[in-house]
Structure 1
């Protein structure tokens, strides 16, 4: 199950980047300067990911309320909540890696 979640997270992250799964698995060969000179920067990507997480969370909340009101099948509710949990776990994992990278840079001798 964790392999499936990792693949789903990888696919969701690559879709958020808008570059398809090949960009996540092998990279596109662009240097950092080339990537920054493009129209889509890190800030735009981050804004897009936060918006997507917000939308997934809202869908999950609506599914939970519909399930409580017996307007939605229980398996659909569980699926929506599980999807929101997976997306949130991915965001937390990326955040932790960014913080870890920042701490490593701060520890570097000048």
Structure 2
């Protein structure tokens, strides 16, 4: 027979194995912040190009960086959605 003390002790030992890693949330937050900075830089460059304050070369570079960042974000989103759909397909 399993005693409550034994069950509590087993739960306490298993808890770290199933808890999410603390670094993952911070990594996602940092990636989102970097993405927002890249998009903000594109807006600044585009506005500067329209007013004549920014060089066209700088505008093209920032647009290329934004395109890569957006493609990366879309690829990550697609992988997350795909993983979620796989979890939903798992039999219970």
User: What is the TM-score normalised by the length of structure 1?
Assistant: 0.62
Taking the TM superposition and a 5 Å limit, the aligned residue runs for 1:21-40 are 36=21, 40=22
**Which secondary structure does the structure 2 equivalent of 1:62 belong to?**
helix
Displacement over 2 Å in runs of 4+: none
Q: CA deviation at 1:42?
A: 1.5
Residues matched between the structures, number: 74
**Equivalent residue number for residue 71 of structure 1:** 53
**Which of 87, 96, 99 is 2:78 aligned to?**
96
How many angstroms apart in 2 are the aligned matches of 1:61 and 1:82? 13
**More helix by percentage:** 2
**CA displacement, residues 54-101 of structure 1 (integer Å, 9 cap, x when unaligned):** 111111110111111111211210110121121011011101101101
Report the structure number with the largest CA radius of gyration: 2
Task: Please provide the CA RMSD for this pair.
Answer: 1.5
- Stretches of structure 1 lacking an aligned partner (at least 5 in a row): 1-32
- Stretches of structure 2 lacking an aligned partner (at least 5 in a row): 1-16
